[in-house]
A = this chain, B = another copy of it.
Amino acid sequence: MTVEDLGARPKRRRAETVERLLDAALETFAEVGFAAASVEDICRRGGFTRGAFYSSFRTKDELFGALFARETTRDLARAEQQLTGIEREADPVAAAVERCLSTFRADRTWVLVLTEYRLHAARHPEAAAALAEHAAELHTRLTELIGGAATRSGVRLTLPAGDLARIITALHDGSVISHLPGAGPLDDAEATALERTALVLLLRAAVSDPAPTD
């Protein structure tokens, strides 16, 4: 057994602890809100001591940064997988929306928590700076994803991929916030249908299709 082997198990265990802390934090933030959630609440829900929390994160804000990275990386990976091969579909725009909609709609808890953090950041400059850094990273990767899908599909975007990335994100976040489950005028199926309509409208306007030739 080498020294590296001896270090591998604690490292893996630590990563598992972080994952479970993030799960507990997401649930706690969703239930009571970021501001109202205490480190104690998060630890209680996850079955951790405060020591376990503070050996992984210095503050609740630092944990939020890790949560942001995990949730957005997961969503991006899913979207990337779902966009694979859309260039072979008869209608790549409709296919892209249909395939990604389930991922979009599944992350409503995350959008709620992110929105609350944005409101928190609007009142706390340090949180705003950290959020801006995370958001810039996400924006870069989402821009690449959209630009890549457009190139492969042979469509030309009528605006920069980065602008389209921001508009799609704003539309999605606004759709979720306007129609939070239990608090909006629409039921889930209606809200999903409306978001589909909005995304298809927007994307059709954002691509200039090559004239159909055959």
Measuring CB to CB, which residues of chain A are less than 8 angstroms from any residue of chain B? 31-33, 35-36, 112, 115-116, 118-119, 121-123, 125, 127-128, 131-132, 135-136, 139, 158-159, 163, 166-167, 169-175, 177-186, 194, 197-198, 201-202, 204-206
Q: Which of B177, B185, B202 contacts A136 (CB 8 A)?
A: B185
Within the complex, the shortest CB–CB distance from A118 to chain B, in Å, comes to 6
Residue of B nearest to A159 (CB): B197
Secondary structure at chain A's binding surface: helix, strand, loop or mixed?
helix
Within the complex, the shortest CB–CB distance from A23 to chain B, in Å, comes to 20
Q: Which of B32, B115, B125 contacts A115 (CB 8 A)?
A: B115
* Interface pair B112/A183, CB less than 8 Å apart: no
Q: What are the residues of chain B within 8 A of A174 when measuring CB–CB?
A: 169-175, 177
Within the complex, the shortest CB–CB distance from A188 to chain B, in Å, comes to 14
Q: A35-B35, A122-B180 are in contact. List 4 more A-B contacts (CB 8 A).
A: A167-B198, A170-B175, A170-B178, A201-B206
* Interface pair B167/A118, CB less than 8 Å apart: no
* Interface pair B184/A132, CB less than 8 Å apart: yes
13 intermolecular pairs with C-beta atoms under 8 Å apart: A115-B119, A119-B180, A121-B180, A122-B181, A122-B183, A127-B183, A132-B185, A167-B194, A170-B175, A170-B178, A170-B194, A170-B198, A173-B174
